Structure 1
Amino acid sequence: MDSGRSGSRRLAIRLLLLLAIGLLSAILPATSAAAQDSEQNTESVGGTIRGPDTEPIPDIQVMVTKNGAPIGEDTTDAEGTWEIPLPEPGSYDVAIDPDSLPDSAVPREQGGERLTDVQITPGQQRIVIFPLVNPNEQSDGDEQQGSTPTPQQTGPSFGQRFADALLSGIEYGSVIAICAVGLSLIFGTTKLINFAHGELVTIGAMVAFFLNAAAAGPGIQLIFAAILAVVAGALLGGLLERGLWRPLRHRGTGRINLFIISIGLSLLLRHVILIIHGSRPGSYTDYNIQEQLEFGPFSAAPRDLSILAIALLTLVGVATMLQRTRIGTAIRAVSDDRDLAETSGIDVSRVVLTVWILGGGLAALGGVLFGLAEVVAWDMGFKLLLLMFAAIILGGLGSAYGAMVGSFAVGIVAHLSTLWFPVELQNAWALLVLIVVLLVRPQGILGRKERVG
């Protein structure tokens, strides 16, 4: 009888998670449109122009053209940022006026003040970078422009594109895994479907961005900014547990009510971030411009390899903690059976608090890595939340290892699908894999079978 009730509860929770994915799928387009309801276009191109000393440069004129016709122009503000709305997706040329540059800064390569064929996909807010150096460090762009056809004319082979997409998918999956593991541990110990976990991801990225790149920030190196962001995320996770979720649980608040409260908390945090940061995406000042490293059919920037290495080491560390430490054993015990763990002498409240601190720190780290791989935006964590839920269900409810496996599956499928289908559909194919796996194995990849009834 008890196992039947347990199976029924897990089935109900699985349905709630699927409902959450449905809500995310419905809300994502609406929130993106709401954030830009005062703008005529959803596509734009922008960026931050910094000098050789990494300080922002104001009053630089930037122009966008298409087939020779002017589309728009802007001037960098005091923080060096600029943004130009675009009428539609397509290919554009972006250029800066060399006469508006200070004498101490020139493009890294001759002719580098103009970027051609900048591709803009539907709804994209693309970041464009103009690397500037001291005048005596400028290189001759003609060295890379011979009379023979360039690699751009022939393009990479399918094998190279497959290898690059596979590596990008593994990197993407590793970032999802870092965020999803914390969400899975929180769910396993509290049975809370935390809709606000995406905002913990965004806050981690925003803290690092403020410390590293914001004009009002101290401008510290990204590594130290990331460490402080992880600490801030961990403290915020612990604060939410002690100040919000624990009192609600002690009052006997039901799981459905807690789920609805997490949705409200998500909306509150997201729009506070929007007010503080604004809708314009940004990027960190470090590790933006790097040469691609090639090994066999694979090619990647050192930044991307570092992201992958940090993510994998973090996941190995979490797995080791869960298997070989007392607190890890306690976390697994509480996840398996909270009541039994409590009667066995385990301090469940302390375990839950530890999980929230760990989950907040992991989410913040995932946000920093995601912002480094792409851009820092006010809704970046919310967009990632859909894939986190999908990874948790795909891997198996309540299993941290299942969340890891599910995350890599989601990331790899999403990126490999871009070889044949538009990039806008990459997340849809990942969700299709979720549906197929659940039809064949309803408990998920690493989930345990439960008898219902």
Structure 2
Amino acid sequence: MTTDRPTFGDPHEPPPRTAAPRRPRARRAPWRRVLAALAAAAAPALIAAGPAAAAPGDTGCTPDAVACVAVLVLDADNARIPDVHATVSGDGFSADVVTTADAVTSVEVPGPGSYTIEIDPATLPADKQLPAGAATSATVTGQVGSTARAAFRVGAGAAAPAPSPSAPSATDRGQAADDAPAADGTAEVPQAPEGDASERDLTLGQVWQQVGSGLRFGLLLALASIGLNLVFGTTGLSNFAHGEQVTFGAALGYLSINVWGLPPWLALPAVLVACGAAGWAQDAGIWKPLRRRGTPVMQAMIVTIGLSIALQFLIQMMIGGRSLRVLSGNPVPLRLAGVTLSEASWISMGIAVVCIAGIAWWLTRTRIGRATRAVSDNPALAAATGIEPDRIIRVVWVMSTSFAALSGILIAVSFGSFNWSLGLQFLLLMFAAVTLGGLGTAFGALVGSLLIGLVVEVSNLVIPSDLRYASALVILILVLLVRPQGILGRRERIG
């Protein structure tokens, strides 16, 4: 017995030999449609061709999927000393930074390892010099997903010892006496060395902080996952190029604001329109012709893998291989309901909530939304009632790429920086979210994304941050062993 899930092509479309006679017309070569779609998708990249490196001297760093090193110069009263020059070096990397009084000065480092921070005593204020015998350099251990800090005490009453290279102090791990916030506005959570997670002294405030971070992560992940699930529901296709649509949105946001000089309020809708047009072109030039030819889902999925690889190289050509910041200003922390996040994170969460509510209203209250649900349930029956499945699928592709682009911009803004592999890092989490919530349902993608976000962030309290994404995949496996169709999915007979 076969599954009720329709194939990628429309099996109910009558073959050409039984179709009603049509007036002959010139047939366009299939390769022309493919080239037109690729040209439309690559148009923003061709406009942006050229060097697009980040501005030099940018010392902000958000420890999401990168390693950061921060420099603090404090007096006896734990006040930050500005305008002190320091050098961060190690593993062939070197960067010059300047401290500020408003925020912790941090810089992204290539990866895990030991880094030496050396300050220039000549740039210290005359009345706030290093104590006698104090070292001008310190060594810290950088780790992906965290900020390693080195603090130097200056002025009268300051202590002389410097951090130990072999045993980073509490200040190195972000627990300075002034409890300064991290670069993304989130207070650093105390972390034990790797392998000693059981020795961490957790508090209710730390758990609540991670819950807030998990809600932020889940909402931004949901924006991308909903589009991925709508495409699967209407076509049966698992789009492996969806992660690159997320990165493409973040890249266009960076170029619009930092290269083309557009204000953020104008750059955001421009990027959404451009990415929506790219989705329209992809369906018109690639996916609709494949559906017309009855291409099986497996072959179409392989096409998405090839498209994903092509978009990765295209995005690298646009922005290069280093991490970039969409907004160049230092994040401003804001505490709401006992959770400290940056102002940009709170705004991004608000935008995500409004958009998700709009999607729910559109699916349940509008004619096209109800038609989308009908096509997702049974394309043949929907076509018999007068609905055009191809038209609905075209709308879904435009929505999917637009919301993926919006998710990419908000992720880059909330977490401080992004690089060309942003979508690749989030692709497995998106698939985990839609599978956990229920394949083919937008509301299932929302529920799955929120659960994945909470698991990823809260698990960071008890396991090393490098394993936090793996914890979400373990939860996915355990849930599918109990409920294979997902939380909101329907049980289907497949054999």
TM-score range, shorter chain: 0.7 to 0.9
TM-score under structure 1 length normalisation: 0.72
Verify: 1:304 aligned to 2:349, yes or no. no
Structure 1 window deviating more from structure 2 (324-333 vs 217-226): it is 217-226
Distance across 2 between alignment mates of 1:336 and 1:96: 67
1:64 is matched with 88
Distance across 2 between alignment mates of 1:304 and 1:400: 23
Distance across 2 between alignment mates of 1:319 and 1:255: 28
State the Cα distance separating 1:415 from its structure 2 match: 0.5
Verify: 1:5 aligned to 2:47, yes or no. no
State the Cα distance separating 1:222 from its structure 2 match: 2.2
User: 1:25-47 CA distances to partner (integer Å, 9 max, x unpaired)?
Assistant: xxxxxxxxxxxxxxxxxxxxx97
Task: Indicate if the aligned counterparts of 1:222 and 1:284 stay in contact, CA closer than 8 A.
Answer: no
- CA separation of 1:49 and 1:337: change in aligned 2, threshold 3 A: same
Task: Indicate if the aligned counterparts of 1:94 and 1:118 stay in contact, CA closer than 8 A.
Answer: no
2:27 is matched with none
State the Cα distance separating 1:71 from its structure 2 match: 6.7
- CA separation of 1:267 and 1:127: change in aligned 2, threshold 3 A: farther
Distance across 2 between alignment mates of 1:115 and 1:354: 58
- From 469, 477, 483, the equivalent of 1:441 is 483
| Contiguous gaps of at least 5 residues in structure 1 | 11-45, 52-60, 77-81, 100-105, 129-140
Verify: 1:248 aligned to 2:293, yes or no. no
User: 1:168-214 CA distances to partner (integer Å, 9 max, x unpaired)?
Assistant: 1111111110000001001111111111011111110000100112x
Distance across 2 between alignment mates of 1:47 and 1:158: 39
Matches within 5 A, 1:292-331: 292-331=333-372
Distance across 2 between alignment mates of 1:303 and 1:95: 31
SS in 1 for 2:117: strand
1:25 is matched with none
Amino acid paired to 2:206? R
Distance across 1 between alignment mates of 2:242 and 2:347: 24
- From 210, 213, 222, the equivalent of 1:165 is 210
State the Cα distance separating 1:387 from its structure 2 match: 0.5
1:396 is matched with 438
State the Cα distance separating 1:301 from its structure 2 match: 1.8
- CA separation of 1:316 and 1:91: change in aligned 2, threshold 3 A: farther
- CA separation of 1:86 and 1:283: change in aligned 2, threshold 3 A: closer
Matches within 5 A, 1:376-415: 376-415=418-457
State the Cα distance separating 1:221 from its structure 2 match: 2.1
Task: Indicate if the aligned counterparts of 1:202 and 1:380 stay in contact, CA closer than 8 A.
Answer: yes
Verify: 1:187 aligned to 2:228, yes or no. no
1:264 is matched with 306
Amino acid paired to 1:450? E
2:316 is matched with 274
- CA separation of 1:441 and 1:87: change in aligned 2, threshold 3 A: closer
SS in 1 for 2:368: helix
- CA separation of 1:252 and 1:73: change in aligned 2, threshold 3 A: same
- CA separation of 1:282 and 1:95: change in aligned 2, threshold 3 A: farther
2:249 is matched with 204
- CA separation of 1:62 and 1:235: change in aligned 2, threshold 3 A: farther
Task: Indicate if the aligned counterparts of 2:231 and 2:400 stay in contact, CA closer than 8 A.
Answer: yes
Amino acid paired to 1:180? S
TM-score under structure 2 length normalisation: 0.67
Q: Which has the larger radius of gyration?
A: 2
| Contiguous gaps of at least 5 residues in structure 2 | 9-53, 60-84, 98-105, 130-135, 160-175, 181-187, 191-201
Task: Indicate if the aligned counterparts of 1:169 and 1:415 stay in contact, CA closer than 8 A.
Answer: yes
- From 40, 45, 49, the equivalent of 2:57 is 49
- CA separation of 1:281 and 1:244: change in aligned 2, threshold 3 A: same
SS in 2 for 1:63: strand
Matches within 5 A, 1:280-291: 280-286=322-328, 288-290=330-332
Task: Indicate if the aligned counterparts of 2:89 and 2:95 stay in contact, CA closer than 8 A.
Answer: no
CA RMSD, Structure 1 to Structure 2 (Å): 3.7
State the Cα distance separating 1:314 from its structure 2 match: 0.7
State the Cα distance separating 1:64 from its structure 2 match: 1.2
2:379 is matched with 338
Task: Indicate if the aligned counterparts of 2:142 and 2:148 stay in contact, CA closer than 8 A.
Answer: no
User: 1:287-312 CA distances to partner (integer Å, 9 max, x unpaired)?
Assistant: 5331x222453222211111111111
Amino acid paired to 2:455? V
Verify: 1:89 aligned to 2:76, yes or no. no
State the Cα distance separating 1:223 from its structure 2 match: 2.8
User: 1:136-163 CA distances to partner (integer Å, 9 max, x unpaired)?
Assistant: xxxxx99xx99xx824499776222211
Amino acid paired to 1:120? G
Distance across 1 between alignment mates of 2:148 and 2:418: 10
Distance across 2 between alignment mates of 1:9 and 1:239: 22
- CA separation of 1:266 and 1:126: change in aligned 2, threshold 3 A: farther
- From 177, 180, 192, the equivalent of 1:150 is 177
- CA separation of 1:117 and 1:347: change in aligned 2, threshold 3 A: farther
Amino acid paired to 1:418? N
2:65 is matched with none
State the Cα distance separating 1:349 from its structure 2 match: 1.2
2:197 is matched with none
State the Cα distance separating 1:127 from its structure 2 match: 12
Which structure has the highest helix share of the two? Answer: 1
Distance across 1 between alignment mates of 2:443 and 2:488: 8
- From 199, 206, 223, the equivalent of 1:178 is 223
Percent identical among aligned pairs is 34
- From 400, 411, 414, the equivalent of 1:359 is 400
Structure 1 window deviating more from structure 2 (204-213 vs 83-92): it is 83-92
Distance across 1 between alignment mates of 2:137 and 2:337: 29
1:424 is matched with 466
SS in 2 for 1:293: strand
Task: Indicate if the aligned counterparts of 1:64 and 1:71 stay in contact, CA closer than 8 A.
Answer: no
- CA separation of 1:295 and 1:193: change in aligned 2, threshold 3 A: closer
Amino acid paired to 1:63? T
- From 72, 80, 94, the equivalent of 1:73 is 94
SS in 2 for 1:5: coil
